[in-house]
Amino acid sequence: MTCKIGRFGDGYEIGRRYEFANGDEPEWVCFNSLTHAQRILYEFILDRFAIHNLRCLLSDAMKIGVQNLDDHEVIEEMAKLLDRGSYVMARLPALSWEGFITPAQVKKPKEEPEEEEEEELSWIQVKVVDDQSGVVIPRVKLTFKFANGEERELSTGIKGLIDLRDIPEGSCEVGCNIKGITLDNCMHFVTLGEDASGQKENWEEELVGQTKGGEFLGTRIAIVEGRKVKTGDTLASLAQELGMTAEELSEFNWGVRAPTAIAERLAFYVGCTKRGQDGESYDFDDQDQPGFIFLPQAWSEQLDTAKTHTIRVKPAGYYLRFNYHINVDDPDNQDDTITLQSPDGIFQHVIEVSKLEEVEPDWVELVFPKPPTGMRYDLIQDPKDGQDPFYTFQNAEEEDFFPPPEPENEDQQADDEPEEDNEDFWDFD
């Protein structure tokens, strides 16, 4: 009968009593309860060599695979065998193992047993930062796949860092699970390294001002492509390229799946004007302005262990833009700031009026990073001359940023025409 005799710790050995070779009687460890056996075995929970041998013994005893058991379960099951007397533990005065038979000796008595090499362990540190500002980003979910096939999903801490110890040596694959990802919880991968890239995609714009609220940059990383739509494209055809449905691509871009809501977003964000055959949806056209839609793809990198790696990312997605009535050449307005913020101050983007340029006489275009959904927002102009700041709009929901639908006929347009009684109010472009 093939037997497996384990060796672990300092001066301890486990096996079946009859499998010990003839010689001096060893000092047996007697267990007075299951708890007693568990307590002794748990002294070796961090001993990888001990746990490995316990797995071998347990597999032989149970006649089934034990690879799905974690280390604690292995110890619990082995303790039951010791408590029942199926296996015995011996305490030896010195590390001398001649008294034990190994499986290799039983199967191949003429060959020397091969010594098992202990797995080399290493470490890795991964930090996620905003590419432009260098600000660390917490709560980013990353998946790690190690050289031995083990996988883990971990999140960056408050310092934007994941620090892994006692992992297999060699490279490991780091990436993100993008199932269910949206622009609100997504960041675009830029590069690896300590220095800012300075890269700019053709669909990006230079933002004026400073943003606070880095935790809203996202919790997943992906490769996000800003695609300029063209005649013949449809939402479904672009989604098919990515292995997605049209509803999933819409949910990624705008967080909606209902056909009516999708049509509204296509008109507002993509600038679609050409109705589809059903009269409700939209078809893409070369003339759509701005004409961009965002396409996500999974991101991953092979990173070496025993190193610290910096992943540089930036926000992915749309910008909120509208025209604002103000004379930027008026000296009284030069020190003013315009702020879009959530009432609790968690999200905030501040623009200095002195850095704005007119798009029309006494009108500027304000461009903000698209704020997180599900919150309300204020737009505040602060004169910075001792006067109180005033609200241009207050406690607005995301839906308030959408323009009203175009009237179906001229009579309706005349009825809906607003009175021009406040030239200083904001307007969408």
Q: What are the 10-residue block averages of pLDDT along the chain, 429 residues in total?
A: 41 69 68 80 72 78 73 85 80 49 40 63 93 86 93 90 92 92 88 77 53 58 92 92 93 91 89 86 89 92 95 80 87 90 79 88 81 75 89 79 49 46 40
Same domain, yes or no: 91 and 220: no
Residue 311 lies in a domain: no
Whole-number pLDDT of residue 19: 64
- Based on the fold, state whether residues 161 and 264 are members of the same structural domain: yes
Say if residue 180 is in the same domain as residue 292: yes
pLDDT score of 115: 61
Residue 45, domain extent:
6-107
pLDDT of residue 101: 37
- Residue 307 domain flag: no
Domain boundary among 241, 269, 301: 301
Q: Is residue 424 part of a domain?
A: no
Q: Which of 107, 132, 148 is the last residue of a domain?
A: 107
Q: Are residues 37 and 183 in the same domain?
A: no
Residue 392 and residue 333 share a domain: yes
- Same domain? 269 vs 132: yes
SS3 readout for the chain = CCCCCEEECCCEEEECHHHCCCCCCCEEECCCCHHHHHHHHHHHCCCHHHHHHHHHHHHHHHCCCCCCCCHHHHHHHHHHHHHHCCCEEEECCCCCCCCCCCHHHHHCCCCCCCCCCCCCEEEEEEEEEECCCCCECCCCEEEEECCCCCEEEEECCCCCEEEEEEEECCEEEEECCCCCCCHHHEEEEEEECCCCCCCCCCCCCCCCCEEECHHHHCCEEEEEEEEECCCCCCHHHHHHHCCCCHHHHHHHHHCCCCHHHHHHHHHHHHCCCEECCCCCCEECCCCCCCCEEEEEEECEEEEECCCEEEEEEEECCCEEEEEEECCCCCHHHCCCEEEEECCCCCCEEEEEHHHCCEEECCEEEEEEECCCCCCCEEEEEECCCCCCCEEEEEEECHHHHCCCCCCCCHHHHHHHCCCCCCCCCCECC
| 12 lies in the same domain as 78 | yes
Domain count for the chain: 3
Q: How many CB atoms lie within 10 A of CB 150?
A: 11
Is residue 309, in this structure, part of any structural domain at all? Answer: no
Residue 350 lies in a domain: yes
Same domain, 282 and 374: no
Q: Which residue among 72, 107, 142 closes a domain?
A: 107
Indicate if 272 and 361 belong to the same structural domain: no
Residue 271 lies in a domain: yes
- Would you say residue 254 lies in a domain? yes
pTM of the model: 0.54
- Return the pLDDT at 381: 93
Q: Based on the domain organization, do 249 and 349 belong to the same domain? A: no
Q: Specify whether 73 is located in the same domain as 143.
A: no
Please check whether residues 373 and 258 belong to one and the same domain.
no
Question: Is 259 inside a domain boundary?
Answer: yes
